[in-house]
Structure 1
């Protein structure tokens, strides 16, 4: 059981911006493109080249929606991808999406301009549900152009950072690695610190083991140094696939479990989400979903509305919260069974949701244009009052 277009001008502007911010996408590594773009610091990266046991699959070319079946679907901004998982919206309104199984990063545009391949993160190990998972951009991205990624290697899960086209350097290493439940949630807080969601690697006992980084939400600064008494911020999680902010200090996690329903957790410092053993001090979920509706893989918050991507449920859940953070009405859904398995959900400044499909992951039933990146305005919008 599993607990489990805007404007053509914007696309052209996005390409022009990345010509500066993402300069250096060549085989010679990163070349600074301005006075605030330092060379990557730190020791040589431990994300190594592909090995015999973990070869790098050859990436395919992204399909042009204008020439595919999706040409008539205004929700589809890119297609022909392979398990797009991490996604970040850039300041210019375009997005960068990462393919879990190839490590490839592409820029996609709200006006459905052809996707632009940027680089490939080498050495990721895609066994089980590992690979290139969460993505985030630096809190000072306009100045430093740095991307953060949660990746699986042959020996661990880790957070790395890099300028586009540059070498990934380790930020946080030694997160336990397994065949399943490798986590991957990343989100920056308003104060510029980083929260990292991990999984229990299929070993439930690790989630409540204070000596392990597995099954936790971690809290570090941009260099990977613990914040507060950390790095463990909360424990008792099964598989934190995504993290999202709602309001000034509200942090939420999607938690996919091997047993029972999948949950949306409110994450608090020192909290215990109750996996595998709920104690008197454990916090219950904000809301949970059974196997037929679950497989939670992404979340985004707009005011008092939380949007959840469901892989097994093949839909987006809409959860309305009250001023205390509790569910105020029965959750609703949209895009049900329309695009298959839905994973990542990211909100942009215009109120649109960027959503990735995950039909090529070996579990779904891929169509001729899968996988896809969608950009959708949710029905009814969101309740804008802060939590």
Structure 2
């Protein structure tokens, strides 16, 4: 069983909406907080029984004996989107622009290849299924090209089709993220292209949270139906995921001085970060599952589990888990059966094993004292 053993390095700043002050703890015993469970791996037996079998052997080449590993020997993963049924997912490689279908027990299948420019933090950094995927089989990707950042639509057997272009690109701040909003719209988080001024200007698409329809136009029921912008001030978003409360969304953002977590609700007044870190753990993708918010960490090589409370607050203390287990996590997505899909980027700055980079599927944390409501 994977245990949450230490808090993410650095202290967290608490805006007013936090429920309690930060208390730094050098260690947590396994029973002190929730622990993710790997699908297919046995859980420890009750006290007095022999311990479970040890962790699977190390991979050899692209063969990985870990039952949580679904795909191996990929280029660094920029985004992942779980498919209906829970046994397969779409995966985007950040630098190559390849979109692959990976499945439990199957070989990765390339379904699209998009021309991308990965400089300045860009590349293929967002991936989402169409709001009506069961009927149309469409997917959407957020990508950086040599001229701009954009959203493209991926149809089976067709070339990727741009639906929203002209999002500014720059020497930095080109990362973005995308997810479906549960109705008939897409939520898109865009980087600021290296300019805080652009991020504050509502007439510019950089550094924003956008809500668009499947054709790239502003969603008809946006607060301002003529504009796709529903929030401003992002720098380099790592992930966006539904909050399961009030139609809101969580957005992770890597700012120069600190990294933050925003809660965005269309039509509500913009507020300060719901959570912030003084350090730079490398917040990337996020997933909401079973009342728990999971944030993938690249630099800290872990996942951060948080238990959202009412009105954007959190109950209990956040818990890091899976530390140094699979290396640098760069993408996350929740599946239809409650499982969480994660992607890694160990070939860019990490310590890759022979089967990296990988896609992993786990059960989210549940129970425990941390975050108990």
Query: Normalising by structure 1, what TM-score?
Result: 0.75
Equivalent residue number for residue 86 of structure 1: 79
Matched positions, count: 312
SS at match of 1:72: coil
Change (3 A) 1:324 1:100: same
Residue range with higher mean Cα deviation, 283-292 or 339-348: 283-292
1:177, 1:346 → 2: CA distance?
A: 25
Q: CA deviation at 1:68?
A: 4.0
- The 8 Å contact of residues 234 and 270 in structure 1, kept in 2 or not, is answered as no
1:299 to 286, 289, 298: 286
1:133 to 117, 125, 131: 125
SS at match of 1:71: coil
- The 8 Å contact of residues 163 and 215 in structure 2, kept in 1 or not, is answered as yes
SS at match of 1:283: coil
Equivalent residue number for residue 247 of structure 2: 249
Q: CA deviation at 1:69?
A: 7.2
2:296, 2:356 → 1: CA distance?
A: 17
Equivalent residue number for residue 328 of structure 2: 341
Equivalent residue number for residue 48 of structure 2: none
Q: CA deviation at 1:122?
A: 3.3
- The 8 Å contact of residues 291 and 313 in structure 1, kept in 2 or not, is answered as no
Unaligned runs of 5+ in 1: 8-64, 273-281
Q: CA deviation at 1:366?
A: 2.2
Alignment pair present for 1:289 and 2:283: no
Alignment pair present for 1:258 and 2:256: yes
1:257, 1:6 → 2: CA distance?
A: 34
Equivalent residue number for residue 77 of structure 1: 70
- The 8 Å contact of residues 70 and 76 in structure 1, kept in 2 or not, is answered as no
RMSD between aligned residues: 2.6
Equivalent residue number for residue 50 of structure 1: none
2:217, 2:368 → 1: CA distance?
A: 36
Equivalent residue number for residue 239 of structure 1: 236
Alignment pair present for 1:267 and 2:264: yes
Query: Normalising by structure 2, what TM-score?
Result: 0.77
Q: CA deviation at 1:334?
A: 0.7
Equivalent residue number for residue 315 of structure 1: 302
2:343, 2:351 → 1: CA distance?
A: 15
1:381, 1:83 → 2: CA distance?
A: 32
